[in-house]
Amino acid sequence: MRGEFDFIKQIRGRYSLGEIGDDCAVIPKNSEYDQVITADMLVEDVDFRLKWTTPEFIGHKSLAVSLSDLAAMGAEPKWAMLSLAVPEKVWASDFLDRFYAGWQTLAGEFGVELIGGDVSRSPDRLIIDSIAGGDVPRGKAFMRSGAKPGDAVFVTGTLGSAAGGLKLLELGEHLKGEVGDGTRRLLLSQLKPFPALRESALLRSLGIPTAMIDISDGLAADLRHICEQSGVGARIDCDLLPIDPALTERFGAEQAREFALGGGEDFELLFTVDEKTFPSEGIPGIARIGIITPKIGEVEFFCDGTAIIPWLSGFRHF
């Protein structure tokens, strides 16, 4: 049976003129700007569980996943639309007021305006469809397709925390009561991810990424997207992966590394840069993890000098 990524490739081949395939579609706006637009869907019991989270967190995350795609293009967010299919029991509760409160707090932080949406009834599960748009200087959107052999590979933040947080939720842990700071960070990475818009704005002002994507499917899968669309390969040094010490403390070094390589939903930025253009003093919070190679489509991971095949838990719907 065809997988999710093959399906998208087929759709692109049959029905699109080329817009499909990056984190956002890029549409010319005026002489100064292009407009970028992204759509994401969150389905109850597939993408979130009501018993593990709060309405405010779901509202936040619904927007955060879209803002992360705008960040991946180097765009400034402007507007969003929100469509909801709501089961009767959710409609009858205070869920939606709390959901919108969580959504609006994040929207307000980045000046995102809610410009529309739709409401429908759902037989049993809540479904959220989030669309967001923003502006990027004309012709300057960071695409997945610009990586060149010799470019260095960088990531923002830390990797694997969201997958670790999900594992802790599956094990019955939660934010209520006494939770250590490290465990709280892991749980919040999963429940309330923060889009890397500030890092994206910095990279846009420096103008240095040759390719960029946000890590929603896991480092290994998303790096593969950059390599396939750029016609290059990559070699990653596992010892350079930025991992929260709390992840190692809770799960051990080996599983923490697996989460960092294969776990999804970190919503950090993964990008490539011609090292000659990278500030020599470095950028705080940004780690160099490897290099782009000319071996088309080959993504290699070296841990302690040995090549490994990463465990790919990064979420796929099909």
CA distances from 193 to 101, 181, 199 (A): 16, 16, 14
Residue 20 interface partner, choices ligand ADP, Mg ion, none, CB cut-off 5-8 Å depending on type: ligand ADP
C-beta of 3: minimal distance to Mg ion in Å? 17
Rounded Cα distance, 158 and 179, in Å: 20
User: Considering only 14-22, 118-126, 187-195, 262-270, which stretch makes contact with ligand ADP by CB under 6 A?
Assistant: 14-22
Q: Are 182 and 201 in contact (CB under 8 A)?
A: no
> In the 8-state DSSP scheme, what is residue 63?
H
C-beta of 222: minimal distance to ligand ADP in Å? 8
- The site map against ligand ADP for 16-55 (x = CB under 6 A) is ----xxxx----------------x---------------
CA distances from 256 to 21, 107, 173, 197, 291 (A): 30, 32, 18, 25, 22
Per CB under 6 A, which of residues 210..229 are in contact with ligand ADP? 216-217
Residue 313 interface partner, choices Mg ion, ligand ADP, none, CB cut-off 5-8 Å depending on type: none
Nearer Cβ to ligand ADP (21/150):
21
User: Considering only 15-23, 116-124, 161-169, 242-250, which stretch makes contact with ligand ADP by CB under 6 A?
Assistant: 15-23
Any alpha helices (H) in 180-305, and if so which ranges? 181-191, 197-206, 219-230, 245-251, 253-262
Q: Are 123 and 208 in contact (CB under 8 A)?
A: no
Length of the chain: 318
Per CB under 6 A, which of residues 54..83 are in contact with ligand ADP? 69
Rounded Cα distance, 175 and 200, in Å: 29
Which residue spans within 44-190 are E strands per DSSP?
Answer: 76-86, 113-121, 127-137, 152-156
C-beta of 171: minimal distance to Mg ion in Å? 28
Binding residues for Mg ion, rule CB under 5 A, total 4
C-beta of 8: minimal distance to ligand ADP in Å? 4
Nearer Cβ to ligand ADP (6/113):
6
* Near ligand ADP by CB under 6 A: residue from 1, 3, 6, 8: 8
Tell me the two tokens of residue 297. 């489509």
Q: Are 134 and 70 in contact (CB under 8 A)?
A: yes
* Near Mg ion by CB under 5 A: residue from 22, 56, 69, 76: 69
Block residue for tokens 């260095």: 152
23 binds Mg ion (CB under 5 A): yes
From the CB of residue 15, how many other CB atoms can be counted at a distance below 10 Å?
Answer: 8
H helix or E strand, kind and range, residue 108: helix 95-109
Nearer Cβ to ligand ADP (8/42):
8
Binding residues for ligand ADP, rule CB under 6 A, total 10
C-beta of 212: minimal distance to ligand ADP in Å? 11
Residue 22 interface partner, choices Mg ion, ligand ADP, none, CB cut-off 5-8 Å depending on type: ligand ADP
From the CB of residue 33, how many other CB atoms can be counted at a distance below 10 Å?
Answer: 18
Q: Site residues (CB under 6 A) for ligand ADP?
A: 8, 11, 20-23, 40, 69, 216-217
